[in-house]
Amino acid sequence: MELEPAERNPAELRRTAFILVGIMIFGAAFVLYAYVQSSQEKRDPDRPPIVTKISKKLKAQNQDGELFNMFHLLGEVWFVVPVSVTQLQENKYALEMMKVLETRYAENENVHFVLVSVEGVDQGVGPEQLKKAAEELGMTGTRTSWLTTGETDKQRGFIKDVVRLGLVIQREPNDPAGKWKFPSQIALIDRDMHLRQRYDFKEASELQAQAELEVGNNPALKDEKYIDLYLNAYKLLEEKLYANTEYVLAEIKTGTKGE
């Protein structure tokens, strides 16, 4: 008996392909999905959540060798990212967006930018190394602070447990990607030291690239519901960040926006 190939239903194949894409990028899509959901709410769609109160402040040195106490940021709005001065590419997505933010809010004295080194003075990263990295990236504004301490563990604890930007992991020796691995995220902190939101532009960029690849391989996916959200993931996350920031800047008290 000869076997005949089964007939393929284009509609079913298209649905199957999109399901597979969804499975592959579900993790990355979670942040974007949360944004879509919040945007559909009628009440304060731009209001970022209140994640936690920052009560533990990091006492450190900045890129000029000056003492820096985060209590000085009370009453200000600020962004914070982890950074490795020995491998700036590890956090390139967050650093690129920090540069954009630094330019966008150049005239707003209430907005500050904080970069916390994943390596301390005990691992050879002091003010001199921070200043060199700041100049290399062109992030030398008067409200931009690159920070280090004498204890690497203290800095990493602040990154992981206080501003919740992830764990610093050491890769295998001679890994071409570099010694350290950590998430490429930005945290938004409000005037009362509340962590309001975190933004992962690496995740959004990878999500968008994957969606573009899948649509390129199967143009019929363009007709699928919500596909534009995947194809514009980076832009949507950037717009969310701006909207959240403007909301926080306009707050008269935590969670309540002024007129």
Q: Which fold has domain 56-192?
A: Glutaredoxin (3.40.30)
Using the predicted structure, report yes or no on whether residue 242 has a pLDDT greater than 50. Answer: yes
Better-scored residue on pLDDT, 109 or 217: 109
Decide: residue 116, CB within 10 A, 0-12 exposed, 13-18 middle, 19+ buried.
Answer: buried
Better-scored residue on pLDDT, 23 or 220: 220
> Which residues are within 8 A (CB) of 242 and not within 5 positions of it... i.e. 6 or more apart?
104
Residues 106-121 have pLDDT tens digits of 999 999 999 999 999 9
The Cα 249–Cα 257 span in angstroms is: 8
DSSP H helices, 6-91, are 10-24, 26-39
**Mean pLDDT within 8-14:** 58
Q: What's the confidence (pLDDT) of residue 247?
A: 95
Q: What's the confidence (pLDDT) of residue 28?
A: 47
Check: CB of residue 102 under 8 Å from CB of residue 221: no
Record the pTM: 0.81
**Mean pLDDT within 253-257:** 76
Using the predicted structure, report yes or no on whether residue 166 has a pLDDT greater than 50. Answer: yes
Q: What's the confidence (pLDDT) of residue 10?
A: 60
**Mean pLDDT within 232-254:** 93
Using the predicted structure, report yes or no on whether residue 219 has a pLDDT greater than 90. Answer: no
Domain ranges of the chain: 11-45+202-253, 56-192
Q: What's the confidence (pLDDT) of residue 41?
A: 47
Q: What's the confidence (pLDDT) of residue 197?
A: 95
**66-77 as b/e: b if 16+ CB within 10 A:** eebebeebeebb
Confidence of residue 256 (pLDDT cuts 50, 70, 90): confident
Kindly state the tokens that stand for 18: 């999109």
- State residue 184 phi and psi, 5-degree precision: -100, 75
Confidence of residue 69 (pLDDT cuts 50, 70, 90): confident
